[in-house]
Chain A
Amino acid sequence: MAEQVTNYKCPKCTGPLHFDSQTGKVVCDYCGSSYDPAEIEALYRDKNEKAAEAGGEAAGKQEKQEQELREQEEAGKASQESAQNWGTAEGMRMYHCPSCGAELVCDSTTAATSCPYCGNPTIIPGQFTGMQKPDLVIPFKMEKKDAVEALKKHYKGKILLPKAFSAENHIDKVQGIYVPFWMYDGSASGSATFEATRSDTYQSGDYEVTETKHYTVSRAGSISYEKVPVDASSKMPDDLMDSIEPYDYRDLKPFQTSYLPGYLADKYDVSLEECSKRADRRVEQTLYEELEGTVSGYDTCHRVNQYCELQRGTARYAMMPVWLLSTKWKDKNFLFAMNGQTGKMVGDLPVSWGKFWAIFVALAVPLSILFSIIASAIE
């Protein structure tokens, strides 16, 4: 099989290279030499292009093999052995590690990984060619130890966290991943109508009178937006990726594969069109909130009508740094994510219902006694 993957090797000693989040350089694991990502990118450009071509051929061969297997199965001739092979091939790709020659079985979207045998960071340049080449990347700034530390902080001060969870808990996996995102530019214009009221209360004889004036309030306007991010990987939970926002876009750089060694990376598998629905929803909601924000001087205000028209602009494909930490407790998986640039950590924690009700009783009983004493004193 032709070589389809690349191990970035040190030009001085041929040791494996990885991207160092602290220095922003590509560093040799053995001799410690450091290089600018652009320098390594230029060195490997030709090699990557050749690998991409070979990758295309190999993918074609694989598709052919899959087709053959399908035909065999349909004809009822597939042996047990070939049926097992089909199970492995479905949605998977096979590569050879250029360092140790081991066979790497990867998901069809995998773009960067590490060899499970020799541990060398491995890039699959064929995943980043033509339309699949990302425009931008935010390099990692946070290290693995920062992610572990942030998770410990995340547990701190959580009174309802079961003691056993943090005590027994060991993190099963900590992975630095470049997650594919689409970023949308554009503008939105629209209008909204609100029903608003202003109330005045006064006393008239034995009666308290409340006079409420009703208004119909209309607002129309437009907003422009830039780089609204939507994660383009079906494997990544959308709510988890939304929760680690925002990224600081001042660190956005033109994409280079030399930022990837040492991390995992996936190419997008949710299309630009499909993801745009989520971006549109967010922009529409923001327009209505902005319009509502201009309605002032009323006691109540609620939206009764709304209209929005979107003008889509440029869309960019970007790779964003995420640390994923996973753990299992009482047969349930817990997934935490940390923004690999800002260090923002998110992840839902288990709740001890025993503690919940104990705190409730511990508060409700003394408060009942206290309020009863106050009430009788007032009477």
Chain B
Amino acid sequence: MESAMVPILIAIVVALLVCFVLYSQMKSVAERDDAQEYLVGGLNITQQSDIYTHTTKTRRKIEHNDK
């Protein structure tokens, strides 16, 4: 029963996605929050550092399909 629902759910998500793409085409007005076009000469980097802090591990049991 559950596996039968998966294709339906995927279809609903795909259909909604297409509808929202069409909806977004109707909106062309939004406040700008950047000023990329008005930069002169780009970014001048004065300092940079990449510091390793720690490692985390997650384990997931692999389910074997014995059908």
CB of B29 within 8 A of CB of A348, answer yes
Residues 1-38 (chain B) with a chain A CB within 8 angstroms: 3-4, 6-8, 10-12, 14-16, 18-19, 22-23, 25-38
- Report A-chain residues with C-beta under 8 Å of the C-beta of B31: 238-239, 242
Minimum-distance CB pairs A-B, first 10? A371-B7, A367-B11, A363-B15, A364-B15, A220-B47, A368-B11, A242-B32, A282-B35, A290-B43, A239-B31
Contact of B29 among A218, A240, A283, A291 (CB under 8 A): A240
CB of A221 within 8 A of CB of B32, answer no
Chain B contact residues: over half helix, strand or loop, or mixed?
mixed
CB of B44 within 8 A of CB of A222, answer yes
Assess A367 versus B29: contact at CB under 8 Å? Given A211-B55, A214-B54, A225-B35: no
What is the distance, in angstroms, from B59's C-beta to the closest C-beta of chain A? 5
Chain A contact residues: over half helix, strand or loop, or mixed?
mixed
CB of B34 within 8 A of CB of A348, answer no
Judged by a CB distance under 8 angstroms, whether A372 is at the interface is yes
Number of interface residues of B (CB under 8 A): 53
CB of B4 within 8 A of CB of A219, answer no
Assess A239 versus B30: contact at CB under 8 Å? Given A216-B53, A291-B43, A368-B8: yes
- Report A-chain residues with C-beta under 8 Å of the C-beta of B37: 245-246
- Report A-chain residues with C-beta under 8 Å of the C-beta of B43: 221-223, 287, 290-291, 293-294
CB of B50 within 8 A of CB of A215, answer yes
Contact of B28 among A189, A196, A347 (CB under 8 A): A347
CB of B26 within 8 A of CB of A349, answer yes
What is the distance, in angstroms, from B9's C-beta to the closest C-beta of chain A? 9
- Report A-chain residues with C-beta under 8 Å of the C-beta of B28: 154, 243, 346-348
Judged by a CB distance under 8 angstroms, whether A208 is at the interface is yes
In the bound complex, CA of A126 to CA of B44 (Å): 44
- Report A-chain residues with C-beta under 8 Å of the C-beta of B3: 375, 379
Contact of B8 among A159, A160, A371 (CB under 8 A): A371
Contact of B42 among A223, A348, A361 (CB under 8 A): A223
In the bound complex, CA of A209 to CA of B49 (Å): 29
Assess A208 versus B29: contact at CB under 8 Å? Given A159-B22, A221-B44, A359-B18: no
CB of B7 within 8 A of CB of A283, answer no
Assess A356 versus B35: contact at CB under 8 Å? Given A220-B45, A221-B45, A374-B7: no
In the complex, which residue of chain B has the Cβ closest to the Cβ of A346?
B28
Judged by a CB distance under 8 angstroms, whether A10 is at the interface is no
CB of B62 within 8 A of CB of A207, answer yes
CB of B59 within 8 A of CB of A209, answer yes
What is the distance, in angstroms, from A192's C-beta to the closest C-beta of chain B? 11
Apart from A160-B22, A243-B32: 4 A-B pairs, beta carbons within 8 A: A161-B26, A226-B40, A286-B34, A294-B48
CB of A208 within 8 A of CB of B60, answer yes
- Report A-chain residues with C-beta under 8 Å of the C-beta of B47: 191, 218-221
CB of B23 within 8 A of CB of A351, answer yes
Assess A217 versus B44: contact at CB under 8 Å? Given A209-B58, A351-B26: no
CB of B27 within 8 A of CB of A228, answer no
- Report B-chain residues with C-beta under 8 Å of the C-beta of A226: 38, 40
CB of A371 within 8 A of CB of B10, answer yes
What is the distance, in angstroms, from A370's C-beta to the closest C-beta of chain B? 8
In the bound complex, CA of A350 to CA of B25 (Å): 11
In the bound complex, CA of A246 to CA of B36 (Å): 10
CB of B51 within 8 A of CB of A372, answer no
CB of A242 within 8 A of CB of B26, answer no
CB of A372 within 8 A of CB of B38, answer no
